Amino acid sequence: MSKSVIITGVTGQIGSGFARFLLNEGHEVHGIIRRTSSFNTSRIDDVFSHPKLKLHYGDMTDGSVSNLICDLKPDYFINQAAMSHVAVSFDNPEYCFDVNATGVIRCLEAIRRHSKHTRVLQASTSELYGDHVAPQNELTPFKPRSPYAVSKLAALASVVNYREAYNIFAANSITFNTEGPARGATFLTRKVTLAAARISLGLQKELRLGNLCSKRSWTHYEDQLDGQWLVLNADEPDDYCIGLEESHSIQEFVEIVFSKLNLDWKEFVICDPRYFRPTEVDHLEPDCTKIRSKLGWKPKHTFQQLVDEMVKHDLDLARKEKILLDNK
């Protein structure tokens, strides 16, 4: 049966993946995009003209999304919108909180008042755990160490509160780092794979990074999408950690990427204090026992497959860039 779905952040990595998946399943997708003076829909270009995709201008910082909820009364509300860059959140904490926390409350309140049948998925983050010892699971205490993490904790707690107070199907997916070729170029993994590819072709000379010792669990975006869809369609709403149950240091990630391009990372990577955060998070790695046992989730991609896919994608991009430069 066809369902109506609102996806915020539809032009992002996971949001666009959800749109593609849901359209293929025959659902009606209403995607929220922010109005800008330049095109920002490249991730959904392949489904842009799909008859069941409706795009709406909106922003989590005003009433546009909550108004749309009131009008459409969707079967599903998937919130992928966020000011999600941890480092930038230190520079602009007020905007970060307005988008990530207050914006979520606006939407929950609209659902409470006008569309209580709507199933809600809030995309949360492993950054909530801060420097608690890994692995972390749903019972691990939260200790946010950035404005981004603080705002996402407020959103997670709001979802739990609305679920318990108003009997709304509202669930949190506590997602560990989600990666893939569609990851934004300012985020660490794409920053590394893009730089390594460009360096290998002589298009770039160096790569500047911050703390190389931090460890993260990097998970393929398709596996995160699968997990979040299971959470949204569970018998009962609940909160679940989702991620690959292994972690690697940033230095290890850099070493692997550069070695795949026959480069010695030490010749090109500079550790720059400017890229250190005021408060660092050393080690994030999930214990996904709950979602594996209750919902049957398991990842389909290994860490090595993820790296291979990203390196190949960005090497292809770098080659196209070089051809254009050579033909000028």
Catalytic residue among 8, 11, 127, 221: 127
- Which distant-in-sequence residues (6+ apart) come within 8 Å of 125 by Cβ? 84, 148, 149, 152, 174, 175
Contact 53, 23 (CB under 8 A): yes
Q: Is 129 a catalytic residue?
A: no
Active site residue 94: no
Q: Is 140 a catalytic residue?
A: no
Measure the CA dihedral 139/140/141/146, to 10°: -130
* Catalytic option among 11, 118, 125, 178: 125
CA–CA–CA angle 16, 21, 24 (5° rounding): 125
Which residue blocks in 32-132 are alpha helix, DSSP H? Answer: 64-72, 86-91, 93-97, 103-114
- Contact call for residues 92 and 83 (beta carbons, < 8 A): yes
Q: Rounded to whole angstroms, how far apart are CA atoms 228 and 161?
A: 20
Q: Determine the angle formed by the axes of helices 188-200 and 250-260, rounding to 10 degrees.
A: 30
Residue 255 CB neighbours (<10 A)? 18
Dihedral of alpha carbons 35, 36, 38, 40, sign: negative
Q: Which entry of 76, 129, 148, 240 is annotated as an active-site residue?
A: 148
| 71: amino acid identity, one letter | D
What is the Rg, in whole angstroms, of the alpha carbon atoms belonging to the chain? 20
Active-site residue list = 125, 127, 148
